[in-house]
Structure 1
Amino acid sequence: MQMPDEVFTRRPWHDLPPALAGVLRPRTDSIAAEMIDVIRDEVPDYRRPLDSAFGRDLAASVRRAIGQFVELTAEPHSRQEHHVRHFRTLGRLEFRNGRTTDALQAAFRVGARVGARLYAETARSASLPLEVVMPLHEAVLTHIDVLSNESVKGYAAARAMAEGGLQRSRRTLAACLLDQQRAAHRDLVRGLAEQARWPLPDTVACLLVRQGAGGGRPTGLGQERGADILTVTHGADLVLIVPDPERDGTVERLRTAVRGRTAALGPSVPPGDAWVSLHCARLMLTGRTGTPHQEGTAGGAFVRAGDGLAEAHLRHGIHIGRLLGDRVLGVLRELPPGRAARLAETLDALLMSWSRTAPEVARALDIHPQTARKRLRRLEELFGDRLSDPAFRFEALLALRTRALTTRAPQA
């Protein structure tokens, strides 16, 4: 890549007579004034008062560009770093003022056209040879191309710095939302959201992605929503905080984005409860090998924790659930494993039934009514009057659900 000095010192600068610099220098102010007028007339974004900060910057940049052109004409090998810094700063100012490079590029093009005409007129009025005109036009085009490129570099550098700061702000916001204590401070959350330029949505949901061999951020979120999603790593996991997840097919896009990986989408919650959504998602993936709420994603699994909050709640207290099972269902441990499993299955069906009759239990278990009656009599022998106690029924159902979870997906 050529440096600006290398571009400036190549031809056509050597083809221009040094006398041209002496001719142009006294006309610098008049050339600058006409160039500024035409730029302001043809570039709408530059129609600002000349006594404003913007107008003064425009005038200073035009005069500097003309002055540099004269310097290069007099001495093609002169150092140009100070001019390069100025035009990179000009690009940074365009970004910081919320403008694009379109108007700046247009101003450079207009300036080149006006400059080429006025420089040529000045050369002819000084009776310089006609052979000067061609290298003069080439020099103007070379000069303006370099200045334009340097301004674009400054603009790009300012944008990259701003985007880096924005991403840091968004990571800070995400970390705050996932911290129970910090997320409770609404003023703190609002302040961080403003810094991150992230409008607080009505609801969010956390998508927890188990990192595969490929790592990195899931793709396919869609350009229109991807920028709104906060991303942060938690250990080896990737966490995405998704605003308004139930809107506009967002869940389908998320499922596609994590295809081939194991992921859990937490329930929709207010932003201050994002940590709760992540907690539910993490519980749903703990020790998981299969689930009714799991949807295949070509080698991975996509779990919606909102469809299994009761299960997530049980997983949160799974060790307490085991202790509860030992106390409430302890009598089943004295039976052979197969018989204990059948009676536990029957007890679950009884507790979930409306009429508590043998035919209803038989239909639930797809067994013969007579078999159901035998099992129910055995349960009465084991548990007696407790089968009619609401407290026992509640605890037994919790214990049975915990037992089903640990049987289906053993804990490490």
Structure 2
Amino acid sequence: MDTSAPPLTGDDTPLPPRVARSLRSCLEEATDEIVQEVHRAVPEYARSVDSLHDRTMRWMIRQTLRHFADTAGRADPAWDGLAEVYAAVGGFEARNDRGLHGLQTAVWVAGQVVGRRLIRHAPGAGWSLDTLEQVTEALFRYLEKITSATAQGYAAAQDGVLRERELARRRLRDLLVADPPGSREAIAGLAAEAGWEVPETITVAAVRPPAARTPSLPPDVLADWTRPIPYVVLPGDGDPDPEVAAALRRCRVAIGPTVPPARGALSLRWAAQALTLMDRGVIRARRPVRCLDHLPTLATALCADLLEAAFGTRLEPLTRLPEQRRRPLIETLLAYIQNGDNAVATAERLQVHEQTIRYRVRQLAQLLGDALADADRRTEIALLLHAWLHFHDRPPGAPDGHLDPR
């Protein structure tokens, strides 16, 4: 911080001793008037007379007035001590999330009070116009020095506050997706440090940003762009507001389930799984994908090796068919089971003729036998067919035919 003494006059010449002594007498009784004017101009500074805030303000005003009078009469004024005081006051405002406007308004209001007193004092003190101009110029240069010290202290503290807040945001972000989860008390404590209001629920979205840059998000969204699968923590149900949606419009996004704040790890786990499947083309979508809209695919991905082992015993007749015959039968059987054995609904879903559906179902009955009549086996078959269609276009046993959940 620049704590050099302020120039006192235009040519840096101190005021004559007689004028400096007269200046001290002029300022001795100015404190009460300054306090009254500051209270009127800056309402948040209007505190009771016995309050710590009011006592501190009066002490600072008295010290400043004395320092100004002493400075005006010396060729080598000491400034460091008072500069540090005003820098500390600026820092206090920053750490309490207040701007500098109130503090600097108070400084200039004090300067106006002193200026009026100088004008009233000048004739009785025998000051010439040149002397009054010299004192007034010294006053305004002194006020500039004070406001500069407050601004430097404010900026330094604000940088520290921002660094501390950003660190708290990162720790909070990590805690929200921690497994095992953090306690509600720990989350609330970090949220207070980060200036983040804890919502009733959160939703974690896994994000694949463009290679060129990471999106700029609003303050209530916590993000980690350093992970192999980056993610953002969205307050609420994960329905991005227009600002967030615009920031993520060029990203591939998978939105996990909505959970309480302490269960973010669950939401992140499923969001990351869905994004991996989007990367592989298993889940195809241009807009953000919600995990809860793809439950069968996500569940299948977690047990792909088991399903692969089941193909050979449960659907062995289908594995022996050539691709051009096998795929239409698989698609038909899955749609037929999902539509409650309704050939008309299946035909509408697959956009083929109803008689085509009935013909394929008869073929499937011949291939799979009694399995289609067994309710438990039909559930297994539906799961296997879903895995087959979504994770591979060839069955196990064919060249390169396998499921890969990774």
Instruction: Place the TM-score, normalised by the shorter chain, in its bin.
Output: 0.7 to 0.9
Q: 1:289-342: per-residue Cα shift (whole Å, max 9, x none)?
A: 55776235xxxxx32333223322223333333333344223322222322223
The CA distance in 2 between the partners of 1:311 and 1:139, in whole Å, is 77
Q: Please tell me the residue identity of whatever aligns with 1:150.
A: A
Inter-CA distance 13–245: structure 2 relative to 1 (3 Å threshold)? farther
Alignment of 1:37-76 (within 5 A): 37-76=36-75
* Counterpart contact for 1:264–1:303, Cα < 8 Å: yes
2:392 aligned with 1:402, yes or no?
Answer: no
Inter-CA distance 76–305: structure 2 relative to 1 (3 Å threshold)? farther
Q: 1:147-200: per-residue Cα shift (whole Å, max 9, x none)?
A: 1232133233333322322222222122111113124x3343334334434332
Inter-CA distance 18–316: structure 2 relative to 1 (3 Å threshold)? farther
The CA distance in 1 between the partners of 2:178 and 2:359, in whole Å, is 53
Structure 1 partner of 2:246: 256
Inter-CA distance 163–181: structure 2 relative to 1 (3 Å threshold)? same
Structure 1 partner of 2:303: 317
Q: Please tell me the residue identity of whatever aligns with 1:68.
A: H
Q: CA deviation at 1:125?
A: 3.1
Q: CA deviation at 1:143?
A: 1.2
The CA distance in 2 between the partners of 1:64 and 1:118, in whole Å, is 18
Alignment of 1:197-276 (within 5 A): 197-216=195-214, 218-219=215-216, 221=217, 226-245=218-237, 250-276=240-266
The CA distance in 2 between the partners of 1:12 and 1:112, in whole Å, is 21
Q: CA deviation at 1:396?
A: 1.2
Q: CA deviation at 1:397?
A: 0.9
Inter-CA distance 31–368: structure 2 relative to 1 (3 Å threshold)? closer
Question: What secondary structure does 2:225 align onto?
Answer: strand
Q: 1:343-397: per-residue Cα shift (whole Å, max 9, x none)?
A: 322322332232355x665554444555545533332233211111122111111
* Counterpart contact for 1:12–1:138, Cα < 8 Å: no
Question: Among residues 283, 300, 322, which one is paired with 1:336 in the alignment?
Answer: 322
* Counterpart contact for 1:287–1:410, Cα < 8 Å: no
* Counterpart contact for 1:204–1:243, Cα < 8 Å: yes
Bigger Cα displacement from structure 2, 396-405 vs 338-347: 338-347
The CA distance in 2 between the partners of 1:388 and 1:331, in whole Å, is 16
Q: 1:57-81: per-residue Cα shift (whole Å, max 9, x none)?
A: 1112212222232233122443422
Question: What secondary structure does 1:198 align onto?
Answer: coil
Unaligned runs of 5+ in 1: 297-301
Inter-CA distance 279–15: structure 2 relative to 1 (3 Å threshold)? same
Percent identity, aligned pairs only, is: 26
Question: What secondary structure does 2:230 align onto?
Answer: strand
Q: CA deviation at 1:242?
A: 0.9
TM-score (norm 1): 0.84
The CA distance in 1 between the partners of 2:313 and 2:232, in whole Å, is 40
Inter-CA distance 142–390: structure 2 relative to 1 (3 Å threshold)? same
Unaligned runs of 5+ in 2: 394-402
